[in-house]
Structure 1
Amino acid sequence: MRHMKSGRKFGRESHQRKALLRSLCTSLVKYERIETTLQKAKDLRREIEKAVTLAKKLHTVKGETEAQTRGLKASKRTLLENYFHGCDDREILGRTEIKRYISNLSKENREAAEKYLEDPDKNPKPEFIVDYIPATCKRTVKGKDGKELVKERKNAQKILRVEGTVTKLVNRIAPRFESVPGGYTRIYKLGNRRGDNAEMAIIEFTR
């Protein structure tokens, strides 16, 4: 009898199950709605709800000093990273790589990104873009004497910095559930899959 044994095996060893759930958590945060088997969706819900609760706590954690607060936030962020693959913000270098990344976005995000990159000063920055450094731009740096100098950056690669999984969860998803104690996701049954007759479902965030 399976007493005190929560979770399913999925025919995998423990490290493989952890990798599977991390991949599912990463996909759910990235797309906010994914299709998978019903059993995986149920186990995924258990994991992602813990991650959202932990992300919410990052906004409220406080120590006695500023340094202690930073340390507490860093430790909680490290715990949060255990739920995902590729947690860090990503830097995309060069026009070709940036173009390839944008082409894989949804139509809405692709149009917003193309509009912003065309003229960053006039157009609003999409939420998923952290920073953009054009090939030619001016930036302020500190000299040896401490004075600020304006330097022009020419003939360099474009740099596009986009948010990672944890950044999106903490900054954009967790605040939606600030007043909600739980139940961050819902599951819709889709029926059985042709071929192996597995029960399929959609899991998505409720807000």
Structure 2
Amino acid sequence: MRHMKSIKHFNRTRSHYKLMFRNMCNSLIKYEKIKTTLNKAKELKKIIEPIINLSKIDNFNNRKLAFSLLRSKFSLFKLFDNLRKKFINRNGGYTRIIKYKYRSGDNALIAIIEFV
């Protein structure tokens, strides 16, 4: 049975899953808009929103926690300096998922995930 298994593994090992979504988080912070499949965008939303909540309170501990998740100094500085000002008065819902089109190879639904 599938009780209490909320994350999708996308037919990858746990280490590959973590690296893939770490890379997607860094890309989303860097470009503020990325294209990916709909299922990956929904899973990315669950991962990136708690990281943005960390950035709203700028202290050393939150920076350490965010760096342990992102592993990128550029993303960390952009998150705590630029994006923090954008979301400081917002209680949640920092990202938006827009359905874009179907991929021609395997007919997967492509979505755009971006910051609000």
Question: Residue 47 of structure 1 contacts residue 83 of structure 1 at CA under 8 Å; is this kept in 2?
Answer: no
- Post-superposition CA distance 1:88-140 (Å, at most 9, x none): 2xxxxxxxxxxxxxxxxxxxxxxxxxxxxxxxxxxxxxxxxxxxxxxxxxxxx
Larger radius of gyration: 1
> TM-score under structure 1 normalisation?
0.54
As a proportion of its length, which structure holds more helix? 2
Root mean square deviation of aligned Cα: 1.1
Question: Residue 188 of structure 1 contacts residue 201 of structure 1 at CA under 8 Å; is this kept in 2?
Answer: yes
Pairwise CA distance, 1:188: 0.4
Distance 2:69 2:42 in 1: 16
Which residue of structure 1 lines up, in the alignment, with residue 28 of structure 2?
28
Give, as a single letter, the amino acid of the residue that structure 1 aligns with 2:63. R
Distance 1:74 1:174 in 2: 15
**SS of the residue aligned with 1:82?**
helix
Give, as a single letter, the amino acid of the residue that structure 1 aligns with 2:12. R
As a proportion of its length, which structure holds more strand? 1
> TM-score under structure 2 normalisation?
0.94
Aligned pair count reads: 116
Which residue of structure 2 lines up, in the alignment, with residue 48 of structure 1?
48
Q: 2:66 aligns with which of 74, 77, 80?
A: 80
Large movers: runs of 4+ above 4 Å: none
Equivalent positions of 1:93-104 (< 5 A) are: none
- Unaligned segments of structure 2, at least 5 residues: none
Pairwise CA distance, 1:192: 1.4
Distance 2:69 2:33 in 1: 17
Distance 1:80 1:181 in 2: 19
Pairwise CA distance, 1:83: 2.6
